[in-house]
Chains A and B, each alone.
Chain A
Amino acid sequence: MAINWFKYSAPTTFYGLAGKLIPWFAIFAAILFAIGLYIGFFVAPVDAQQGEFYRIIFIHVPASILSMFLYMIMAGYAALGLIFNTRLSAMMASAIAPTGALFALISLWTGALWGKPMWGAWWMWDARMTSELILLFLYLGFIALHASIDDPRRADRAAALLAIVGSVNVPIIYFSVKWWNTLHQGATIKFGGTSMHVAMQQSLFIMMLACWLYAIAVVLARVRSIILERERNTTWINDLQEVRS
């Protein structure tokens, strides 16, 4: 039996598939968020060193990890779009960017909220925080470049190139910031040495999964609107039930 691997790489078929998948991802994300937050707030014990404040990691850590992963995924889609000239890849890349930027912002925000009681300052020029901030700048650059080019094809390709250059630069930036920081002062805080409670691990894991599902649901919803916008002059869009009514 021959499987058509590229069936869903066309916007025509992917539009319907995404529409069917979104509710599932959204529902599971909501359920997992509820479970994860419940365990995080009520089951997980109070931390010996950090008190109640540590509970912010249940959103902070997933947000940070997602913001980084989403950038690499975005750059991957951008590269696919640039190399194989597929329309959907570029649409996916531009659909991922706002969600990635949002997670980067959440990560910085929650980090600051955690930093104030723990370090006594909203912001430290810590290597990880600084590189997260730069990651947010890279997302904003991608979005701004895409938004300021009117021709969608040129916008896709230009933003794709920027995303690839950015992803090559991310490790260089990360290590330079790290060395810059260690040259100034020693590491401000170290996590090693304390083993996590099981309930904390569970909550963290569930929240991570919930954030992934949320990100997928939102990206799919956004890519559907992008497809509608880009393909508005085609017949299959005008034959859609939701467009007709």
Chain B
Amino acid sequence: MKKSTMLGLLVLVIRRDLILAMRRRADVLTTLVFFVMVVSLFPLGVGPELSMLRKMAPGVLWVAALLASMLSLGRLFLADYLDGTLEQMMLAPQSLSMLVLGKMTAHWMVSGLPLVLMAPVLGLQFDMAGQALGVLIIGLLLGTPILSMIGAIGAALTLGLRGGGVLLSLLVLPLCIPVLIFGAGAVEAISSGLSIVSHLSLLGAMLVLALVFTPWVTAHALRISME
């Protein structure tokens, strides 16, 4: 009984946030367009040689995904904070961590998943091989939820501050470095014929770790910011 209500709550929060996001589709698209633009700027900056671009592709796509996910983090709690919904969520008898987990999941579906789906197309622009593209997508699928979850801590800490967006990136980016290293590293490993198991396992381990701890830490951060 208890478990089903928790799960029900999770589904409810995710549905609510998805509906809200669909009402403001422009926000979602902005992040995606930003991602595409940043990636497209690199060949213009470093030159169009395909051999170099192929080598750079995983790093460029990952850094761009990292930056794009920072962009949308500011909105994670802001609307609910401004209209008072967040306060009601904190007063609710249900676990705040669970609510937060729901919001994180919805945020990933709205801002992380489109990037994952878009990445192969951009990878083709960089002349990536099919196998490498596959690894890139698996890596992004494992990694982008971690970015959303770590980012949520920063979003909760900087809630309602002036200059929150830049500050948020300053706080969160250093913490995301391991994800970047293993995500881009996996693609590089497959390109040079090495095993990708270690990279992806570590990404998976970080995902599990983040899944357990970040909702709880974010809930604490929200309580600090709201008191």
Contact = CB atoms under 8 A, between A and B. Distances in A.
A148 B160 CA distance: 11
A169 B173 CA distance: 12
B131 to A, nearest CB: 18
Contact of B158 (A137, A140, A145): A145
Determine which residue in B153, B158, B221, B224 has the highest number of CB atoms from chain A within 10 A of its CB, and name it: B224
Interface string B98-139: 000000000000000000000000000000000000000000
Nearest to A154: B224
B181 A176 contact: yes
B174 A158 contact: no
Contact of A161 (B177, B182, B217): B217
Given A154-B224, A158-B224, A165 B175 contact: yes
B23 interface: no
A144 B181 CA distance: 25
A138 to B, nearest CB: 6
A119 interface: no
Residues of B contacting A: mostly: helix
Nearest to A142: B171
Interface in B137-181: 153, 157-158, 161-163, 167, 170-171, 173-175, 177-178, 181
A180 interface: yes
Contacts of B181: 176-177, 179-180
B54 interface: no
Residues of A contacting B: mostly: helix
B171 A173 contact: no
Interface residues of B, number: 27
A3 interface: no
Contact of B157 (A138, A161, A169): A161
A157 interface: yes
Given A145-B157, A176-B182, A177-B181, A154 B225 contact: yes
B227 interface: yes
Interface of B: 153, 157-158, 161-163, 167, 170-171, 173-175, 177-178, 181-182, 185, 188-189, 202, 206, 217, 220-221, 224-225, 227
22 contacts: A134-B177, A137-B170, A137-B173, A137-B174, A140-B170, A141-B174, A144-B167, A145-B157, A145-B158, A148-B163, A148-B167, A157-B224, A158-B224, A161-B157, A161-B224, A162-B153, A169-B175, A173-B174, A173-B177, A176-B177, A176-B202, A183-B189
Interface of A: 134, 137-138, 140-141, 144-145, 148-149, 154, 157-158, 161-162, 165-166, 169, 172-173, 176-177, 179-180, 183
The 4 closest A-B pairs by CB, nearest first: A176-B178, A137-B174, A157-B224, A180-B181
